[in-house]
Chain A
């Protein structure tokens, strides 16, 4: 089955700086890679996703890059703000729908004012 590794487990950055979180996956059949932000006691919130036919996707301060050859993808947050502090999870999934998401272990991001 799929195995997703995520690093780092914790990350502290100064407000305004950039944060990068990296994930690797094992199943070459995976073709959908979402990133979630989760605040304490709440559901995961999709912040950006990328499909395997795209190498990079950007949405304002958030971007995701995908390297299918190396089987890794990364989340980039620029101009970080205190409200970006949360736990972030990457995930991977094969095919379209009806397939389970395999989550990474999570990164606790703290933005230092």
Chain B
């Protein structure tokens, strides 16, 4: 199957700082990238959908100015958590889509801890 590489796998940052998470599709062009957040013992909740070259579409309740998404190329999408706070601590995971298949290809996930 197709591979999505997500980095970093773990990051600890101080409150008020920003953190960037990268997702790269290694062997396919991801026309669409989905960003999810997963709190402990909970399900994956979609934060936003990004399409290459256009603005991301955010789900209700997700602050677009806090969670900046860039999908500048068909192989790279980034999520930047700005002015992070402890309540932003979570597992963030991306999913790439080739647009021709129904299967979603997930990155490894990023465990963000804000102290």
Residues on A facing B (Cβ under 8 Å): 32, 34, 41-44, 46, 49, 51, 89, 93, 96-98, 100-106
Contact of A101 among B31, B34, B109 (CB under 8 A): B34
**Prevailing SS type, chain A contact patch:** loop
Residue ID in chain A nearest B93 by CB atoms: A43
Chain B residues with a Cβ closer than 8 Å to the other chain, count: 26
Contact of B108 among A34, A42, A46, A105 (CB under 8 A): A42
User: Given that A34-B103, A97-B100 are contacting pairs, would A44 and B111 also be in contact in the complex, using a CB cutoff of 8 Å?
Assistant: no
Interface residues as binary, B96-114 with A (CB distance below 8 Å gives 1, 0 otherwise)? 0111111110111101000
A100 contacts B34, C-beta separation under 8 Å: yes
User: Given that A49-B103, A96-B100, A98-B32 are contacting pairs, would A106 and B43 also be in contact in the complex, using a CB cutoff of 8 Å?
Assistant: yes
Q: How far is the CA of A104 from the CA of B42 in the complex (A)?
A: 10
Contact of B95 among A51, A96, A101 (CB under 8 A): A101
Residues on B facing A (Cβ under 8 Å): 31-32, 34, 42-46, 49, 51, 91, 93, 95, 97-104, 106-109, 111
Contact of A41 among B31, B42, B46, B91 (CB under 8 A): B91
- Kindly list chain A residues whose C-beta atoms are within 8 Å of the C-beta of B97: 97-98
A43 contacts B106, C-beta separation under 8 Å: yes
Residue ID in chain A nearest B108 by CB atoms: A43
Question: Smallest CB–CB gap between B35 and chain A, Å?
Answer: 10
Contact of A43 among B32, B43, B49, B109 (CB under 8 A): B109
B34 contacts A106, C-beta separation under 8 Å: no
Q: How far is the CA of A105 from the CA of B34 in the complex (A)?
A: 18
- Kindly list chain A residues whose C-beta atoms are within 8 Å of the C-beta of B104: 34, 46, 101
